[in-house]
Structure 1
């Protein structure tokens, strides 16, 4: 019988071209792909009506169940405006949206049920995802249609994120505001949930029914496939999600190709793609424009994440453009199970708050290692072009008006299983036209960020390099065109730092400042120090022998 998307064992490395086609990549496991019978059932034959009014949940589910029970095939969503409640996928089903198909999830929150699940890396109670599947195999969502999550009926909105006119229009539409009148909530239930610390946590002794009074606060993700194998998402647009948009969880053999994710810039928690504790996959040719992180690698949070012990590993991510987002490519902050063997290439970030973003904090634990990134172009980045931050403060990366942008004071703590690690990360061929900081590396005094290489970069920004608590950092052929020239580079309590072939704008007040009594072995190589008014400034207790300047 004729098949769609025949099963093929793809070697991930074989799909790459250019410098990233290394022996390391070719050693990655094969990605197993989906395969479906050509047998097709249209939702229209199951009673669905495309009038934009009828809620077609039963028809969607009937078609999906029928196809799965017959051994698999295609569920067709024809052109038209289809309304539905949440739907559950089944194994061996390809849910295919024809060009012109617009599927809008209902704004009736009673259509959604609360379930035990995982969110932000911990056991949680949430409304079931709008598209949901668990313990499935061989599933796909394909086509050129659109899913709309009606997310504005779920999400709170900060006044600071809107213009005055937009805020007045939102408040007049209904809902409630908090006592400070600076945040709007779609309902009193949503507001109540916001007053409870970590309200979504599944606490000991609590059952799902105990969360009913804050149901509206426990927003559903748009798509969750948990503990599933062989997943294909191709061509479809997912927009206006209540929370995270696409969330594969503890799954494997995943292909996300040609997908678009759209949510308002002010849409809290509307991550585009969260790969959590997943292995073996490809993300390519996508477009993301959302209100939170875009491509995000996660693996559980704190003790629960470490107990799960499932890293996200063996992924190729390439040929993708990100517009608004808190981070373009992100690892963390929930990375307690670790992340490794991830190859990233050919990304564009345009107006993204932060470009390449690695974030964690004490208590997470986990090891992030063997990450390879190349060919990244950035434009108009309000925050950092590249950031490694082990003191993530769970706030927006771009401070709002009145918020302090100063880094927190960091004191040493004892090493334990909750101490996170970033190590062995290579970044090549990066440009950035406009950022607040070009490169920020901020480790912990008890655990330095280790073995980071950045090569062949041209970064235009306010600040250049800020390197704190790091070990084994190498910059080679990096141009730092900074507007703030005091200093171009700052190194604090770091060691084994090699700055090779650094270029900067002539006339800088100070090229480099080295501070911290634990700084040592800083090499400045093949760099013209005479273009700066002052080459190196040393802090208290820092010997001039800490820095060596040489030409090779």
Structure 2
């Protein structure tokens, strides 16, 4: 068994050497150069009293700053104050800077939120068929966008939206705080995000996204609020963040059933490190269940997970298609987690009746290593599909302290893999050495670390 573990660790080192950008996207930090032009939102008639609607001021300021795109870009400065607004769109080569004491406040009136088309990889609104409310801060096909500040705040005032969702009264799917679509070179940093109607930060179809030093919070009773959602995006870094939400803290996605399969854009080359995560009713780090475009080449390291229903969870179901593979999760500390690790092939719903029930998802080549946990109820729950079992689930150096509530620390079906130095002892399904040694066939850019 020791020989096997050494081979597995050697493999991890080989993958680090051969992987894309050493697999560590966060090492490729963008250099943020000062913009040569700066204007204040005050110059466009904005009033920071928390009552005056400032949408036109934001729109006019950003329209004006578009003229500096070919001159090194520009910065929109938001000074201390409470700036009530509807949705507004950013432009390329722009920095939106929120000073300390500045609060961008989302209007609570749904009539103030424009309705936009569903994302093509979802085919419809996720919560309600049809369109969806446009998010508070938006960007489409942009390049070189920075949303930052001196710990300013973006507050979605989500209570009204949560009540509409819970009472099944939504006309369209809920908006997010920030959504950037088909954009490249995006930075979100040094801000606090509060009370998102649904997601706080949603990069979709994006490349080269760096999210760091942000704080995200939503009450534990807020329904299906999620912190950061990399969605059909690549080369993403999430680091040095603190997130506490009602559902998932970080959730990786890539489209829904036949729409995600047809769109065919995976989430890949994602690096998550040095984050503190809490997810009241969901998972601190979730993969799926909307993963029809595929999720691969993911590195998660140096993470603290606490006071949550689930620690690390892979979700999928029949009809999803797609894959989740070449994922390495290491150096994890867990406290007060009900289920430390989970993977299920029975999670989610379908957008309509046009999905292909024969589109089976693949879950393969997952490494979970160097993990400790205290006050854990269930160490692991792995339930693959009979037609498409979960394979090559590799565990090493995992020590979980199980509380007295637990009667069965492990639950396994239709799964195979390898384990070494794992306490409590896992299911026999996770002691098949040959499965994980097949990882040695991974070469070059198909590897993560």
User: Which interval holds the TM-score relative to the shorter structure?
Assistant: 0.7 to 0.9
Deviation at 1:489, TM superposition (A): 4.7
For 1:75-131, what per-residue CA distance to the aligned partner results, in whole angstroms no more than 9, with x for missing partners? 000111211111111111110001111111111221111110229933331111111
Alpha-carbon contact 2:384-2:415 (below 8 Å) kept? yes
Could you tell me which residue of structure 2 aligns to residue 264 of structure 1?
219
Alpha-carbon contact 1:32-1:253 (below 8 Å) kept? no
Could you tell me which residue of structure 2 aligns to residue 465 of structure 1?
410
Q: Do residues 128 (structure 1) and 134 (structure 2) align?
A: yes
Give matches, 1:69-218, under 5 Å: 69-71=67-69, 72-118=73-119, 121-124=122-125, 125-143=131-149, 144-156=151-163, 185=167, 191=169, 193=170, 214-215=171-172, 218=173
Could you tell me which residue of structure 2 aligns to residue 47 of structure 1?
45
Instruction: Summarize the Cα distance change of 1:240–1:119 in structure 2 as closer, same or farther, 3 Å threshold.
Output: farther
For 1:384-443, what per-residue CA distance to the aligned partner results, in whole angstroms no more than 9, with x for missing partners? 10011112256xxxxxxxxxxxxxxxxxxxx97510010001111111112221011111
Deviation at 1:32, TM superposition (A): 8.1
Instruction: Summarize the Cα distance change of 1:28–1:474 in structure 2 as closer, same or farther, 3 Å threshold.
Output: closer
Alpha-carbon contact 1:85-1:112 (below 8 Å) kept? yes
**Counterparts of 1:29 and 1:73 in 2: how far apart (Å)?**
30
Give matches, 1:306-317, under 5 Å: 306-317=261-272
Give matches, 1:530-549, under 5 Å: none
Instruction: Summarize the Cα distance change of 1:65–1:266 in structure 2 as closer, same or farther, 3 Å threshold.
Output: same
Alpha-carbon contact 2:279-2:310 (below 8 Å) kept? no
Q: Do residues 280 (structure 1) and 204 (structure 2) align?
A: no
The TM-score, its normalising length taken from structure 1, stands at 0.69
Counterpart of 1:359 (choices 315, 319, 324) is 315
**Counterparts of 1:284 and 1:273 in 2: how far apart (Å)?**
11
Give 5+ residue unaligned stretches, structure 2: 1-12, 126-130, 350-355, 436-449
Q: Do residues 377 (structure 1) and 322 (structure 2) align?
A: no
RMSD: 2.5
Alpha-carbon contact 2:371-2:399 (below 8 Å) kept? yes
Q: Do residues 456 (structure 1) and 397 (structure 2) align?
A: yes
Select the structure with the greater relative contact order (CA < 8 A; seq sep ≥ 6): 2
Paired residues in the alignment total: 400
Give matches, 1:273-352, under 5 Å: 273-325=228-280, 326-352=282-308
For 1:482-526, what per-residue CA distance to the aligned partner results, in whole angstroms no more than 9, with x for missing partners? xxxxxx6545xx586259xxxxxxxxxxxxxxxxxxxxx9xxxxx
**Counterparts of 1:19 and 1:60 in 2: how far apart (Å)?**
50
Deviation at 1:331, TM superposition (A): 0.6
For 1:273-315, what per-residue CA distance to the aligned partner results, in whole angstroms no more than 9, with x for missing partners? 1111001121100011111111111000111100011110011
**What's the secondary structure of 1:58's corresponding residue?**
helix
Deviation at 1:19, TM superposition (A): 11
Deviation at 1:35, TM superposition (A): 5.0
**Counterparts of 2:430 and 2:64 in 1: how far apart (Å)?**
63
Alpha-carbon contact 1:131-1:222 (below 8 Å) kept? yes
Could you tell me which residue of structure 2 aligns to residue 24 of structure 1?
19
The TM-score, its normalising length taken from structure 2, stands at 0.84
Counterpart of 1:497 (choices 416, 432, 437) is 432
**Counterparts of 2:380 and 2:153 in 1: how far apart (Å)?**
37
Instruction: Summarize the Cα distance change of 1:60–1:495 in structure 2 as closer, same or farther, 3 Å threshold.
Output: closer
**What's the secondary structure of 2:117's corresponding residue?**
strand
